[in-house]
Structure 1
Amino acid sequence: MRPTLRGAGVLVVAVGATVVSAQFGQPGLAAIAAPLFVALLGATVQVYAAGLPAVERSTLRRGFQGEYRTLALTLSGSGIARVTDHRAEAVGGTATARCSLPATLSFEVPYERRGEHELGPVEVAVTDPLGLVVAGGTVGATDEVLVFPPVSRLGGPDAFVRTFTPDAEERGAFDRLREYTPGDALRDIHWKSSAKRDDLLVTEFDDDSEDRELLVAARAKAGHADAMAAAAATVAVGALQSGFSVGLATPDGAVPAGFGERQQIRLLEALARAGAGQSGREEAADVLISATDGGVVVHVGDRTEAFDDLTVGQENPLVSGVTA
């Protein structure tokens, strides 16, 4: 605990008035000094009794790079506080606010970069209403938040199948057309026949084509892990939405193949944390993502495509669609 700049000034005036009064017999100056000393003493007692407030941090939901979340800090106690929340630069960096205690402070937190980022600690400086004395310290209200890489839209409803899957003759023989039901793979929609009717028709084959498994491997040169993660997330999500069982290999580990929303979360979690390097599964991969100084390319068999050529924009099709 220490006097503020204002408090130091008041103390200097009070001491000076007392000294001059004693040396030159000016009782009026002593009358001025007395209430100043009382104010300083009262401020000291008030700040000491209040102590540092307890701070409770709300939990931030996971989200995608480019999104925002609202963070709340709830502080108990009394007095006037200057609150500094120390956060990683990737989620907005340090933020400061001033309030009367008790209080709840709200901050808009930008998710500027994928990864697992630290929140806190919180630095608090408490002062009296007159701003004469201040006591400060650090409160360990810490947490972490995971930010997923951005996901882009692939170019059209059947773009994934056209670009990333084997030729049509490798599939089973045609069986019949039936009406589309939610959950059917977009690659099986028979667009020509559907155009003649008011509803969608789906092609069925003799084999269970939707049970095919796809391994996506991702690698990146140092400094390009973010671009690798964004491309791999786009391809993996597109594969899941096209009905594939998707597995993933990154320089930091592997995710076994699986279907559904839970698998989508697993893939995004792995890509949020993935760094640069080789995946070790390049030879076995059905789709290989490579990020280098020259950009991001996608390898499928003997074909190589620039990732940017496979997308139709940066709009994230999963925003508000993933809960974790």
Structure 2
Amino acid sequence: MRPTLRGLTALVIVVLAFAASLHAGPRSLNAIVAPLVVVLVAAVAIVGLRSRPAVDRAPVEPGFPGDRRTVSLTLESDGATGATIRDRIGDGLELVDGSDPVFETTLEAGRRLTYEVDLTARGVHELGPLSVVVTDVFGLVTRRFDREETMTVLVYPRVASLGSGVRRDLRTSLARVAGSGAGHEDGREEFDHVRAYQRGDPLGDVHWKASAKRPGGDLLVSERTSTDSTGAVTVALEGVTDDETRAGTAETIDDFASVAAAVVDECLESGVRVGLVAGGDRLEPGAGPEHYRDLLAVLARWEGEPLEGGAGSDSEVVIRATDSGPVVAVGGSEVLVDPTGQSDEPDTGAIEGARVGDSGPSESGVSP
């Protein structure tokens, strides 16, 4: 707790008035000093009895660089009082207006504050800690409360733009590798569930046994799902083994993650289930929106760490860094990817320079 400039001024006036009253008599003391003393005591009591406000942060949805998100805070207080609230924004996030969000407001129960931030860089970034400075109604005394709790905001990697040549070569290699992992290939279907009959449904799909149990004679139709599988692949990211090199190549690691995100996209669009190995994280092959978000979350957290304990040795797709840029290796074929998306065709010469122990040239950006 500390006095404001106004509080210091009032305190000086009290001291001077008290000194003057020693010469002018107690009547002047009562007329000038007493009201100020009462106000100062009341201000100290109001602020001193105020309890630490509770802060509830609403989760912030992950996103990609360039996305905008709304940050929402709800503060709970045991009474209305003036307050200055300041939140801190970590690297990788940028306030839409200003540097740090500052609110001059009345703190009361259920007070909700919002502001907007732009997601600017891949990674795990922090919001907070938050500070609350409360003051009395007279503006004489302040008290600061620091809330050390923070919230993380996940920013996915930018998805690199693959040129048509790279996409063609990558899909060709994926079809060759993932096809070997395909499941049933005989077009068989399995029963999934029944639904109400709709006009146009073939009578062969009617589930007569279930329909017989329906009151009123309503028909039910069987819904089936195919057991066909397009196979699965696991993507492994070979990180940087040197800690100092990794610390000085943040931009390169971001490009690496962007290429990995593009490869994951391409696999899923090709109907291939995708797993991921990066650093100490491993996700088994899967598909669907939730699995895709899990893959992006691993890529957002990855900081260039190398694979642990031989992890990824059985992966069908390996992405590694070279002096020429990220190289995607699929089943013995290699494709050099430009993370900026400026090159539409793969650089076959760069691929050959990136390989070790290769004896012949490659064609169409793919080395057999």
Bin the TM-score by the shorter chain.
0.7 to 0.9
The residue number in structure 2 matching 1:274 is 302
2:43 is equivalent to residue 43 of structure 1? yes
In the alignment, residue 235 of structure 1 is paired with which amino acid? V
The residue number in structure 2 matching 1:175 is none
1:47 partner SS? helix
2:293 is equivalent to residue 265 of structure 1? yes
Match of residue 118, structure 2, among 110, 120, 125: 110
Q: What root-mean-square deviation, in Å, do the aligned CA atoms of Structure 1 and Structure 2 show? A: 3.2
In the alignment, residue 234 of structure 1 is paired with which amino acid? A
TM value normalised by structure 1: 0.72
Identity %: 35
The residue number in structure 1 matching 2:83 is 81
Shift in Å, 1:140: 5.0
Question: Which residues in structure 2 correspond to 1:89-108 (within 5 Å)?
Answer: 89-92=91-94, 95-102=101-108, 103-108=111-116
In the alignment, residue 79 of structure 1 is paired with which amino acid? T
The residue number in structure 2 matching 1:306 is 337
Shift in Å, 1:312: 8.4
- Change in Cα spacing, 1:294 to 1:79, as seen in structure 2 (3 Å) is farther
CA contact (8 A) 2:160 2:341 kept: no
Q: Whole-Å Cα distance in 1 between the matches of residues 342 and 268 of structure 2?
A: 16
1:165 partner SS? helix
Q: Whole-Å Cα distance in 2 between the matches of residues 216 and 31 of structure 1?
A: 82
Q: Whole-Å Cα distance in 1 between the matches of residues 337 and 272 of structure 2?
A: 22
TM value normalised by structure 2: 0.65
2:291 is equivalent to residue 289 of structure 1? no
2:132 is equivalent to residue 130 of structure 1? no
Shift >6 Å, 4+ stretches: 167-172
- Show CA shifts across 1:148-185 (max 9, x none): 212234345x963443433989989xxxxxxxxxxxxx
Shift in Å, 1:109: 2.6
Query: What are structure 2's unaligned runs of at least 5 residues?
Result: 181-227, 241-245, 345-368
Q: Point out the structure with the larger strand share.
A: 1
> Which stretch shows the higher mean deviation, 276-285 or 250-259?
276-285
Q: Whole-Å Cα distance in 1 between the matches of residues 124 and 340 of structure 2?
A: 29
CA contact (8 A) 1:220 1:278 kept: yes
Q: Whole-Å Cα distance in 1 between the matches of residues 114 and 293 of structure 2?
A: 28
2:244 is equivalent to residue 214 of structure 1? no
The residue number in structure 1 matching 2:4 is 4
The residue number in structure 1 matching 2:256 is 228
1:160 partner SS? helix
The residue number in structure 2 matching 1:188 is none
CA contact (8 A) 2:74 2:113 kept: yes
1:9 partner SS? helix
Q: Whole-Å Cα distance in 1 between the matches of residues 256 and 121 of structure 2?
A: 13
- Change in Cα spacing, 1:37 to 1:68, as seen in structure 2 (3 Å) is same
| Count of paired positions | 276
